[in-house]
Amino acid sequence: MSRRRVMVGVLSVLVVALSSVHGAGRAREDVTLDRRLPASAGAAMDALEARFDSAAAMDLVQFMDRYWRNAANEGFNASIDRIQARLAVSGFAPRADAAPGQPSVWVEAFGKANGWDHSIGTLTLLGDGADPDEVVLSRERHRVALCINSFSTPPGGVTAPVLDVGAGVADADYDRVDVKGAVVLGDAGAGRLWQQAVVRRGAIGVVSTALEGYVRPGPPSTDGLPRDQWDVLQWGSIPYDDARRGFGFKASPRAAARLRVRLARGRARVRVEVTSSFTPGPVKTLVAEIPGRLAPHERIVVVAHIQEPGANDNASGCGTQVEMARAMAAAVKDGTMPAPGRTITFLWVDEMRGSRQWLQDHSADAKGVRYMFSLDMTGEDTAKTGGTFLIEKLPDPTAVLPRPSDPFSEWGGRPMKADALSGSLLNDVFLAVCVRRSRTTGWVVRTNPHEGGSDHSVFLAAGIPAVLAWHFPDRFYHTSLDRPEMTSPATMAHVAVSVGATVSLLATASEADAQAVVGLLEAAAQARLDLESRQGADLVARAADRAAAEMVETQVRTAWLKWYGEALDAVVALPVGGSTPALGTRIEAAKGKLR
C-alpha cells in the first residue's frame, strides 16, 4: 500500500460494537444491522466459509514473500504466474477457451517498468584498529535495506567515508561538512537525502534512518532494548538516476547507532557492495472473471496489488483474493451460491497504476462497474502487528466534517470537500456483513473515514463506489519484519468470507434483497442521526463559541440527511434486471421518515 498523507498522530478508527452500528459510545441493542441483511447474504457466507482454503492462501503468502516484487521483475511476474496457475486448476479457463458462462483468466500487459531487483546489498563498517570490520546492513539479515533503484557497485564494492548530517534536510545540515565522494548518513527519508547529498553535493550514496512513528517498540529484550524495533527498518527508494548510478540504504536503529558510535570516536569508512539489476519490461495485470448471467455488462470489481516486498502488504491481499475467487466459482458451480447476474472481475495489479490502466483500456466495461473492493493488507495477525481490521469507507460526511466517533487512522487523512460526497449503500451493507461475521467469530471490525492511497482511490476518482479492506496501525508496515509469521490464515478467511458474501449479494440482488437493504439503510441512518445528536450536544456544551458549534452541528445533520437520501435512492439500481414501482415507493417512504 502506498500513502502520500500527512500524519495526524491520532489513534485510528471507530470500534464497531457487535450490537451497534457505529460503535461510538453506548451500544444500541435495537440497531443490529447484520440482522437486517437479506437471507441470501448469510447463505453466501456459509458457502464461502466451507470452501475457502486458508492453507492455500497462506501458501501463496509464503511464495510471494521470497521476492521483492517490483513491476516487471522476476518476483512480480512469478507471482502473476503462480496465481494464474491456481485459478487454472480451479476451473478458470483461458479466456479464448472459456465456454459461455465459464469463469476465465488471462494476463494483460501495458507500458514499461524498470523491473529493479538485487542479489547483494551490503554496507560494511571498516575496522579502525579497535574494532574489526562489521557488516551493519545486508540483504541476508535485513532483506529490504537496499533502496529501490540502487545501481551496482564495481566488483568488490566501493570504499568511502561515511558522514553524519543529522536530519540532512536543510542547507545548514551541510555547512560544516564536505560530502562529495562520501556516503551520507541522515535522518530524512532516502529520497530527500538523495536530492540534498547526491544530486546537489556529489555524495555517492545515502543511508537513511527514517522510521515512522507507528513502528512502535515490541517487548524489551534482556538488554532493555525493544526486541523488534531495534532491528527493524522501513524499506524505501531513491530516484532512478542513470547518470549518477548511486545507491541508498535504509538503516535499522541498531545499524544507525553503530555507525554513530564509531563516528563519535572520529572518522569512519564503509565498504558498499551492490549487485542489482534492471529488467525493463511490460507491466502485467492478471484478470479473472465470473461472468454475469443476466446483466454481464454490469460489474463488481475486486482488486489486490502484487508489488511491494511484504507478506501482509500485500501478499495477504493476493492470497485472500485468489482463494475467495476460487471459492466463489466452486460454490456457483455446485449450486450452493447463485450464479451472479452481474459479472465479477478480479484484478491483480501494480498498485494504482494497474487500476488506472484497466479503467483506461476497458472504458466500456468501466461504465458498467457498480461497486469496487480493494484488498490490501488483509491477513494480519493482529496480536503481533497491532493492526486492527478496518473498513475504509467510501467518502461520507465523516471525511468532510471530522467527528470524535470517526477519527482518521493513525496513517493520517485530511478532510475532503462536501461536493466530493455521493451517498451509497456500499458502506453499510459491507459493514453489516462484516459485523455478521464478527458476531459468530469474535473478529474485531472497525471503520475509518476515507483517506485514500490504494486502488480504491482510483475507482473513486472515476465515480465508482469503492471501499478498502485493510489493517492499521501496523508496527511492521513497510518494514523488514513484515514476514509470513505476522500473517494469519484465519484473518484472511474472515476478510474473504465477508467481501465475497457482499460481492455475491451485490451481483445477484433481487427485489426482495433490495427491500431488505432499504430497511438496513433506514436503520443505519437513524442510528447515525441519533449518534450525531448525542455527540453534537456534548460538543456544543463544551464549546467556547456555542453559536458556531451549533452551526457546525446543523451542517453535520444536513450532510447526513443528504447522504442517506442519496444512498436510499441508489437502491433502486440494486436489483439485477431492474426494479419495480414498489421498491421506489418503499424508498420514498424511508426518505420521508428521515425528513
CATH code: domain of residue 138: 3.50.30.30
Residues 287 and 424 placed together within one structural domain of the fold: yes
Query: Which of 475, 509, 543 corresponds to the end of one domain?
Result: 509
Q: Are residues 286 and 158 in the same domain?
A: no
Q: Write down which residue in 224, 241, 276 finishes a domain.
A: 276
Grade residue 416 by pLDDT with cuts at 50, 70 and 90: confident
Predicted confidence at residue 7, as pLDDT, reads 32
pLDDT the model gives residue 228: 60
Residue 254 is given by DSSP the state: H
Residues sharing a CB contact under 8 Å with residue 331, sequence separation 6 or more, in sequence order: 44, 47, 48, 50, 51, 337
Residues 355 and 492 in one domain: yes
| Least confident piece of the model among 71-75, 131-135, 200-204 | 131-135
pLDDT of residue 171: 95
**Domain of residue 366, CATH code:** 3.40.630.10
SS3 104: strand
- Assess whether 437 and 534 both reside in one domain: no
DSSP summary character for residue 148: B
Mean pLDDT (whole number) for 99-109: 97
Please check whether residue 6 lies inside any domain of the structure.
no
What pLDDT does residue 71 have?
98
Whether residues 137 and 202 fall in one domain: yes
Q: State whether 498 and 585 are in the same domain.
A: no
Give yes or no: residues 125 and 263 share one domain: yes
Flag whether 237 is in a domain: yes
Q: Are residues 335 and 432 in the same domain?
A: yes
9 within a domain of the structure (yes/no): no
- Please state the domain count of the chain: 3
Identify the three-state secondary structure at position 436: helix
Q: Mean pLDDT: which of 13-27, 29-43, 250-264 is highest?
A: 250-264
Same-domain check for residues 208 and 104: no
State the amino acid at position 526 in one-letter form.
Q
pLDDT tens digits along 425-481:
999 999 999 999 999 999 999 999 999 999 999 999 999 999 999 999 998 999 999
Contacts of 52 (CB under 8 A, 6+ apart): 323, 324, 327, 493, 496, 497, 500
Name the residue range of residue 24's domain: 14-114+281-509
What is the predicted pLDDT for the residue at 418? 84
pLDDT at 26 over 80: no
Q: What is the pLDDT of residue 195?
A: 97
Looking at 455, 479, 509, which one is the last position of a domain?
A: 509
Average pLDDT of the chain to the nearest whole number: 92
pLDDT score of 128: 85
User: What's the rounded mean pLDDT across residues 550-559?
Assistant: 96
Predicted local distance difference test score (pLDDT) of residue 555: 95
Q: How far apart are CA 289 and CA 300, in angstroms?
A: 10
Output the pTM of the full model: 0.93
Residue environment code for 419-445, b if the CB has 16+ CB neighbours within 10 A, otherwise e: eebbbbbbbbbbbbbbbbbbeeeebeb
Tell me the Cα Rg of the chain. 26
Both 168 and 138 in a single domain?
yes
Asked whether residue 460 falls in the same domain as residue 555, the answer is no
3, part of any domain: no
DSSP 35: G
C-alpha cell at 177: 561538512
Are residues 438 and 309 located together in one domain of the fold? Answer: yes
1 occurs within a structural domain: no
Position 421 in a domain:
yes
Q: Assess whether pLDDT exceeds 60 at residue 2.
A: yes
